[in-house]
Amino acid sequence: MPLADVPLSEGATQQLPPAALAYLGDAVYELYVRRWYLLPPQRLQSYHNQVVAQVRAEQQAKHLRSLMPLLTDSELDLVKRGRNAATRHPKRVDPRLYQQATSLETLIGYLYLTDPQRLVQLLANLELGSSD
């Protein structure tokens, strides 16, 4: 997956609030999931259903938990920053799950800007084939 052309410096990225990183990470994550499900060709509704199942907060929280053992200390610190940034949540979602989903999005946004190769490495570890 082609990512950012030129990574931002860590100093520049540190100036961004976790919510901004999560905002970007949400878009990057959804694009990655959409690309994952492109083959084999399907009807648009099938694409949509599969992607929606993966971008839900519950599934993102599950993905974060699966990645936790692979994260470096600095990535774990960033996950904590992202968790603390999730102050509001949709009524349908448990606040802890929403915090975990926001943490994943924050990590993805940060890595997209600073270390695209590491992002690809982590995303390759996600089990996108199932939503259970």
Q: Could you give the residue numbers annotated as active site? A: 26
Q: 36 near 96, Cβ under 8 Å?
A: no
Q: What is the CA radius of gyration of the chain?
A: 14
Residue type, 4: A
Dihedral sign for Cα atoms in the order 66, 99, 123, 40: positive
Q: 123 near 104, Cβ under 8 Å?
A: no
Give residues with Cβ within 8 angstroms of 51, minimum separation 6.
30, 33, 34, 37
